[in-house]
Structures are given as structure tokens and as C-alpha cells.
Structure 1
Amino acid sequence: MRIGILGAGSIGLLFASYLSKQFDVTLFPHRLEQSDLINEKGVTLQTLDSTITSKVKATLDKEEFNKQELIIVAVKQYQLANIRSDLNNIHKSIPLLFLQNGMLHLKLIDHLQHESIMVGSVEHGALKVNETTVAHNGIGLTKLAPYRGEITSISSLLNLHCEYFQFTTYSDYREILLKKLLVNAIINPLTAILKVKNGELIKNNFFMQIFHDLYSEIIPLFPELDSKNLLNEIIWICRNTENNESSMLKDIKFQRKTEIDAIVGYIVELAKDKNVRLPLTNMLYGMVKGMEKGGTE
């Protein structure tokens, strides 16, 4: 199976590393410099036990899109607008798999004409070390569900045999995206503002109180979710990734744009539509936006 991966950040590099063991993978980075380095050095995967380099092709040639049998879209949500025309030019018979955080990317997906579109929730911890190296610092699952078409269109991907990189499938895409949305909406802004690793949110009693207050404020917006089980799941994630820094904290530290709009911004807009007040959520949203922009526009 020929798999193209749009985006060569932490998730793009992670997927390229594991999928290249079984499939013909082509990475589509944004910059020529990174593409050249990947072609020269391959992609290196760092785990707790080993460091492995795999030969992976990289190109900026958009004509290569239509030579793939699956396109995995691994750019951040706010970068999707920049590749909208590229996605429209991919042949409609080629399945697409979107791996963005939040829910805003569903608006873009609605306008695509492709026969098979999947969405996924990535629970792995990954850190881009440099242009060709990714550290796999948290083993999880990638949860997939069909948005349009049948999940069988990517059956080859689902048959990947790898102990530390597994896929599970669901029939309801909204459930897996909502759960990931709530996880990110709690962990990401709090760790970014408090400048702490994930585990501190449940180790520090004061932080834990804010954690619970934020969750209690948001969860009534989503009555379809099991509030108690989801709370326990988020606490488990904090414990399981206690030494990890959230992606939003990393973005703030390195003065990059965050995904606050795709995650918390989505919840803020949903609350406005339902005429629900979210004072704590709105405050955290404003704080991250202020930090992201340095307080200026």
C-alpha cells in the first residue's frame, strides 16, 4: 500500500517511522530543506529502548499525491486552510485520513468530495527532536472512525502488525473526537498557563481543584458523554503521561501558534450558540490567546 503523509511535524514523522516498516510511505513536508534532509538521512525514531532510522521518501511534488492509495493529513488544524486546494486536487477515489485535534476541521471536510474520509484521534506522545527525528515518549492508540464511506477502504492500514503502534476502529466519529476534545480542553490550556508537565495537574492539590472546576463547567455541554468515566480517563492520561509536556505548552515555550481555537475556541463558540456561560473556560481561552500573541494583535 502506498501511503502519503501531509505534514512532517511530530505526528507526521511518527506515523512515517512506523508505517514505513510495512508500507511504501511518502512524506510531504512544507519546506524543501526538511524534504532534502529526510531523503538524505531518513526518519529516526527514538524510543525508551532503541533508536531506529528508516528510509522514507520525501517530496514537495504535489503530482505525487495522486500516486498514493491513502493520504494521511497530519498538519495542525490551523494549517488546513493552506492546503485546501491541494486536498481538492487529490483524486476523489483516494481515501483521506484526518488526524487533527479539536472539531473545527469537520467544516473543511464537509466541503470535500472524496468518497472515503476517515478521522482519527492520536493518543501517542510524540516530540519532534529535529527535522528528521521524532521521540515516541508515550505509547497509546490511534482511534479511527469513518466520516464518509466505509472503514474497509483503509483495511490494509488496520492490518499493521506493530505492538507499540496500534489502531482501533469505531463506528461513531463524533464520540472519539469529542472525548479527545475534552482531554485536550482540560490538559492543554492548564499546562500551558501554569507551565507544568501533565502530571502536575493531579499531583498539586490547587491545580487539581482548577482541573475539576474546568471539567465541571464544560462537561454539561456534552450530555452524550459519560462524565464520570471520561473524568477518570483524563486523570489516567495525566498520570500515564506525567513527565510529558502538552503540545500547547511546547507551542507557548517556542512562541508558536497554538491550537487553542480548534480546541477551547470550539467549546466557547458552542456555549455561545447554546447561551451557556463558561467564565473559567473563557478566561483560560483569553489567557492562552494573550500568551500566544504576546498580548498584541
Structure 2
Amino acid sequence: MEIVVIGAGSVGMLIASFLSEYNDRVTLITRREEQARNLKLYGLLRKNSDGTSTITEVNSSTCLPGLSRDALVIITVKYGQLKQVYDTLHTLDPSIPLLFLQNGLAHFEEANTLPHQSIAFGSCQFGAQRENDRTVHHRGHGLLKLAIEKGDTRPYTLLLQSPNPLFQVEVVESAENMLFEKALLNSFINPLTAILEVTNGMLVENPITHSLLENLYKELKVAFPEEVKQVSFSDVENLCRRTADNKSSMLGDILNLRPTEIETIVGALLKKAADRGKTLPILETLYLLVLAKEGSGEKM
């Protein structure tokens, strides 16, 4: 099966690395020709959490190739880049299945307007960190959760066949619920780590940030009682510990002076709360602080 991964950031590189272990028809679409060239020359290097390294060969290009009907397209670019990708996806045969791997909620309704017969959404429960154009770190073990929004599981069967225990896929029922749950978890960790410039583990190691984390959890539980009851505070603590050495994607964006995903993650939750007549003063304060830090273009 031909697999095309659009987006050669940390998540795209990690997904392509795992898939190319058991499929020799993986193509990684990069934004820069230099990265495509480095991947062709030296291969895709994955540094595993146990200290080992894995090198695989992937095809790489800055342009989407002509695709056969048995292809699968996985979109891993961040939300801010999706609008450009939608134009490309509209040119594909509608029978080609799509899988979206983005944080937040804003892309859910947008992607569902595409004419494709098979559309799925994923939620990465593991960590990924890009080191350079050909090297990615696998950090924090976890599943890739997969929810089918249009069609059935058949176009995504290959993803379920991974022989690597570090890359396992679990199919869940509701894409919207899955994305909402991930947005909640991201809202606990990403803004705080971005503002404080600390790794995930520091949120539970420091008693002050731990209290702030707990107060934020209680606030969200009041606004979203049904949704948050699926995620205990222990789950949040364990996630911080399991990914203790990770830098959140939002912190990475701040440190590299890139736009963050604060709108699609936290902004979307604030809007949902407002629609329910609820206020989230702690989360809104964090949201505004991240926007201020992002807009300053420098560390605070």
C-alpha cells in the first residue's frame, strides 16, 4: 500500500519512520528541498527512548506524487498550514482515504467538508521531537488512537498491523470525543509549559505548578463535567510523569519563535465553554499569556 505523509515535522517524521519499518512505499512530503535531499541521501533516523537508533529509507519530495487508488494520505502539518493542504487534497481522487493528525478541534469540521469517502482522525499519545532534517526522537510511549469519521476501517488496516510494540494503533468510536479529550490534556500541559518554559514533568514535581494544574483541572471539570469525568486528575499527573522529559509542542514553538496552536487547542475550548454559558478564568489567563508571549517574539 502506498502511504504519503504530508508534513515532515516531528510527528510526520516519527509516523513515517515507524511505517517504513514494514512498508517500503512510504513517501514523506517536505516543505523544503534541502530536507527532502537529506532524507534521500542519509535516510530517516529515529532515536528510540531506550537509547537505540533505527534508520529507515523513505521516499521524500516537496510535491505530492500521482497517487494510485490504494494509497493512504496522512496529514501531519499543524493547523495553521492546513488551509494550503486542503487545496491539494481537493485535487485527489475522492476514493483515496485521508487521516488527519492535528492537535485541537478546529480542523474537525473543516476536514469533514472534503469530498473524500474515507476520512479518519488520529490522536498521538506518544511524544515526538525533531532534532534536524533527518532525525526524530521518540519520547513517551503511548498509542495512536484512530477514529473513523467517514467510511470504515478497511483503508486503515495497514496501520493496525505494525509489528513494533512502540507503534500500536487503537480504534475508538468517536473522533470528536477523542479530539476533545486530547485537547483537554493539551490544555493542562501545553500553556503552562510554554509560559514557564519547563518540561512536562516539572508540572507535577513543583508543588506550586502542581496546585495550579489541579485548580485548572477542577475548573475544566465544572465546565465540561461529562467529558472531564473520562479523564481523572491522576491521568493528567501520569501523563506528565510519563512524558517528564518532553518539551510540549507549544513550548517548542515559543522557543523557536513560531506561531503556537493556542487558538485551535485552548481557544476552541474557551469557545465551547462560552457556548455553554461557562467561564474558564484560569485557562483564559493562560491563553492570554501565551498569546502575549507569542506576540512578543522573544522570551519573557
Return the TM-score normalized by structure 1: 0.95
Letter in 1 for 2:258: R
Q: Cα offset for 1:244? A: 1.4
Q: Is the 8 A contact 1:11 1:74 kept in 2?
A: yes
Partner of 2:54: 52
State how 1:1-297 maps to structure 2 within 5 Å.
Answer: 1-23=1-23, 24-47=25-48, 48-66=50-68, 69-227=71-229, 229-294=231-296
Q: Are residues 196 and 64 of structure 1, via their aligned partners in 2, closer, same or farther at CA, if it must alter by over 3 Å?
A: same
TM-superposed deviation, 1:227 = 2.4
Query: Aligned equivalents of 2:132 and 2:142: distance in 1?
Result: 22
Q: Deviations 1:130-179 (Å, cap 9, x if unpaired)? A: 01110112221100011111122211221121111111111121222121
Cα distance in 2 for residues equivalent to 1:241 and 1:43: 23
Q: Cα distance, 1:242 vs. partner?
A: 1.2
- 2:33 partner letter: L
| Helix, strand or coil at the partner of 2:122 | strand
1:222 Cα shift? 2.5
Aligned residue type for 2:16: A
Partner secondary structure for residue 89 of structure 1: coil
| Distance in 1 between residues matched to 2:39 and 2:260, nearest whole Å | 25
| Letter in structure 1 aligned against 2:259 | K
Deviation at 1:107, TM superposition (A): 2.3
Q: C-alpha displacement at 1:68, in angstroms?
A: 5.9
Superposed CA RMSD in Å reads 1.7
Which amino acid is the alignment partner of residue 88 of structure 1?
A: H
User: Cα distance, 1:295 vs. partner?
Assistant: 7.2
Q: 1-side partners of 2:177 and 2:208: how far apart?
A: 30
Describe the superposition over 1:231-252 as per-residue Cα deviations: whole angstroms up to 9, x where unpaired: 2211110011112111111111
| Residue correspondences, number | 296
2:93 match: secondary structure: coil
Contact 2:14–2:136 under 8 Å retained in 1: yes
Partners of 1:179 and 1:230 within 8 A in 2: no
Q: Offset at 1:226?
A: 4.9
Report the AA paired with residue 96 of structure 1.
Answer: L
Mapped contact 2:221–2:228 kept (Cα < 8 A):
no
Q: Output the CA distance in 2 between the equivalents of 1:222 and 1:190.
A: 20
* Larger deviation, residues 118-127 vs 286-295: 286-295
Contact kept? 1:66, 1:90, Cα under 8 Å: no
User: Is there any run of 5+ residues in structure 2 with no aligned partner, and where?
Assistant: none
Note the residue ranges of structure 1 that are not aligned, 5 or more in a row. Answer: none
SS of the equivalent of 1:168 reads: strand
What TM-score results when the alignment is normalised by the length of structure 2? 0.94
Counterpart-to-counterpart distance in 2, 1:78 and 1:222 = 26
Letter in 2 for 1:11: V
Identity across matched positions, percent: 37
SS at structure 2 position matched to 1:206: helix
* Mean CA deviation greater in 59-68 or 79-88: 59-68
1:187 alignment partner AA: I
User: 1:49, 1:9 → 2: CA distance?
Assistant: 21
Distance in 2, Cα, partners of 1:26 & 1:63: 9
Structure 1 residues 142 and 204: CA distance shift in structure 2, 3 A = same
